[in-house]
Structures are given as C-alpha cells and as structure tokens.
Amino acid sequence: MQTVLLYYKFFHVRDPHDLRDWQYDLCRKLKLKGRIIIAEEGINGTVAGDRSSCEEYMSKTEEKIGKLEWKTSHSEIEELFPKLKVKVRPEIVTFGVKVDLSKKAPYIDSYEMRNLYNSEEFDDYVIVDGRNEYESRIGRFKYAVTPDINNFREFPKWFKKNRGIFKGKKVVTYCTGGIRCEKLSAFLIEQGIRDVFQLHGGIHRYSERTGGENFEGEMYVFDARVHVPVNFVNPNIISRCHFCGKSVARFKNCKNQRCNSQEITCEECEKLYSGFCKKCTKNL
Ligand SMILES: [Zn+2]
Ligand SMILES: [Zn+2]
C-alpha cells in the first residue's frame, strides 16, 4: 500500500535552489518518488511512498517551512511515479501571466460547495473547471463549464474568447487540489469579474469531506492511477470509449510511442486495436 501526498504553499522562498537540494535529500533518504516544484513564490508537490516515510516527510517539511495543508490518498499500485523530480522553476504552477496573488478570490469550503447545488441561488452561479480538457473529460462537477485547453497557460486566452459566459454571474472555480485556482481566481478578478470564489482544497478535499456528491465521473491524477473515484454518493460515468462509444471511465495511452495520446478506451477495444488509438489505427 502506497500513501500519496499532495500539497502546495505560496510563501517567499529566499533560496529556491537551497530548498530544492534539501527536499531532494529528504525524499531520497525516505525513498519517496514524485514531483516537487520550487520557485521564489513557494512549493508545489506530490510524492508517494510508504506510510511511515510520508509521515516523516510531512513533519520534516513542516519543521523547515511551516504548516502545510496535506491531501492524502492511498493506492495499491506500488510504482505510482517512475522517479523523483525536484525542480526549480519560475512558477510553482505555470500560468504564464503575472497575477497579484494578494488579490486572490475568497474560498468556499467543501460543504458550502455541496450546499450551493441545492440552493435557490445556484442559477446565479457559473462553476468553472480550472483544469485541462483531458482532465474534465473523465470527470467534472455537474453543470461546470470546462475550458477546451491542454495546458493551464492557455486559460487566459480561453477566458478572453469566452468572457460572455461570466456576464452577470457569480463564479466558483475549482481544480484538483486548489493550487491552480489561486492564480486563476486572481486573474478573473483582475479581468473585472466581481464575485469570484475558489473551492478550498479542490476536488480532492471535496471528496474527503462530502463524499463527492454532484461530481460526475472520476478525478484525473498525475500519477500511475490516472484517475480515482471521487463521488461515493451519486456516482456516474460521463466518458465514452473513443472507438465504440461505450460508457467507461478508462484512459489508455496509445501504444505508438510517438503518438502516446491518452484516450478513453474500453478493454474490448484496447484488445481489438492492439493498444493503438483511433488515429493510429486509421493510419496503419
Ligand atoms: Zn470500446
Ligand atoms: Zn495513437
């Protein structure tokens, strides 16, 4: 059994390279794998390992940089990440557009989000998925607007084309663990959208706290699990096999290494087409 930790924190890092080396040594010592990004604006990480190592990782990291909000999950898959990567980058989540994080949107918590769906005010809101199209393809909040983007950096451009959706509406943004909403919500406010809220702790915390009611499909994750269940109250499947249209929550990477495209594929079609995607099958 593997424990998976997900966390981020915005704070001023005086020497990102120093923190990078410290994190790298700690993870090596504890045999943790995963991805950690450090910038002057903070730290963003997801690591996996055995339970006691993860516990030590959390306490050592908090001793070093202060309190953190951890999101924890578990998996039977032993090799969740192929390796350990700890990198220094200009941003801990790359948005490309400079935003003033001191003007980020207020949070709404998981329970407020759940209650919003049952409130009379719901129609005054637009729920915006802050993730990529391939993530929302396998799961999203009911009625959410899901941007057709392949990278977080494309959000500002998407917004400018789709401004109309937001007219006269209050906005709730959500993402996997909350980090993308910190920037995206500040961006929306800078763009003149007045009532913006961000879901605190993202889908991850929402599932833990509320059982995931009104989340349709599953949550995409950036490790070997690919997607995990969220909704234990009224679950359903929203994705369809890209070959036969069968309702299935199952991502497969195309066997053609140069293509490697990730498509919803049922087990039968994976066998039938020997693991290739539709595009590569046509080109055979
Ligand atoms: Zn199929
Ligand atoms: Zn392919």
Q: Which ligand is nearest to the CA of 247?
A: 1
Listed residue (21, 20, 23, 19) closest to 5, CA to CA: 23
Q: How far is the CA of 258 from the centre of ligand 1 (A)?
A: 22
Average pLDDT rounded to a whole number, residues 181-201: 97
62 to each of 7, 55, 66, 201, how far by Cα in Å? 11, 11, 4, 18
For residue 231, pLDDT over 70 is answered with: yes
For residue 283, pLDDT over 80 is answered with: no
For the CA atoms of 11, 13, 19, 20, the dihedral, rounded to the nearest 10 degrees, stands at 90
Listed residue (20, 81, 11) closest to 46, CA to CA: 81
Q: How far is the CA of 265 from the centre of ligand 2 (A)?
A: 12
Give per-residue pLDDT as tens, 133-151: 999 999 999 999 999 999 9
Give per-residue pLDDT as tens, 200-225: 999 999 999 999 999 999 999 999 99
User: 76 in helix, strand or coil?
Assistant: coil
Work out the pLDDT band at 105, boundaries 50, 70, 90.
very high
For residue 83, pLDDT over 80 is answered with: yes
Q: What percent of the chain has pLDDT over 90?
A: 98
Q: Which ligand is nearest to the CA of 284?
A: 2
Q: CA-to-CA distance for 30 and 23, rounded, in angstroms?
A: 11
Which ranges of 152-266 would DSSP assign to H, the alpha helix?
A: 155-162, 179-190, 202-210
Q: How far is the CA of 275 from the centre of ligand 2 (A)?
A: 9
Q: Which CATH code is given to the segment(s) 101-228?
A: 3.40.250.10
Average predicted confidence (pLDDT) for the chain? 97
Q: What percent of the chain has pLDDT over 70?
A: 100
Listed residue (176, 11, 191) closest to 99, CA to CA: 191
Average pLDDT rounded to a whole number, residues 101-110: 95
Work out the pLDDT band at 80, boundaries 50, 70, 90.
very high
Q: How far is the CA of 268 from the centre of ligand 1 (A)?
A: 6
Work out the pLDDT band at 282, boundaries 50, 70, 90.
confident
Tokens 């993308």 found at: 180
Domain 2-88 and domain 101-228, same fold? Reply is no
Q: How far is the CA of 214 from the centre of ligand 1 (A)?
A: 26
Q: How far is the CA of 160 from the centre of ligand 1 (A)?
A: 36
58 to each of 81, 87, 177, 186, how far by Cα in Å? 18, 19, 17, 28
Q: How far is the CA of 248 from the centre of ligand 1 (A)?
A: 8
Q: Which ligand is nearest to the CA of 241?
A: 1
For residue 195, pLDDT over 80 is answered with: yes
For residue 13, pLDDT over 90 is answered with: yes
Catalytic residues: 175
For residue 40, pLDDT over 70 is answered with: yes
Neighbours of ion ligand 2 (CB under 5 A): 254, 256, 259, 261, 277, 280
Average pLDDT rounded to a whole number, residues 92-120: 96
Q: How far is the CA of 274 from the centre of ligand 2 (A)?
A: 11
pLDDT of residue 114: 97
Q: Which ligand is nearest to the CA of 256?
A: 2
For residue 284, pLDDT over 90 is answered with: no
Q: Which ligand is nearest to the CA of 258?
A: 2
Task: Tell me the domain boundaries of the chain.
Answer: 2-88, 101-228, 239-284
Average pLDDT rounded to a whole number, residues 246-259: 95
Q: Is domain 2-88 classified as CATH 3.90.180.10?
A: no
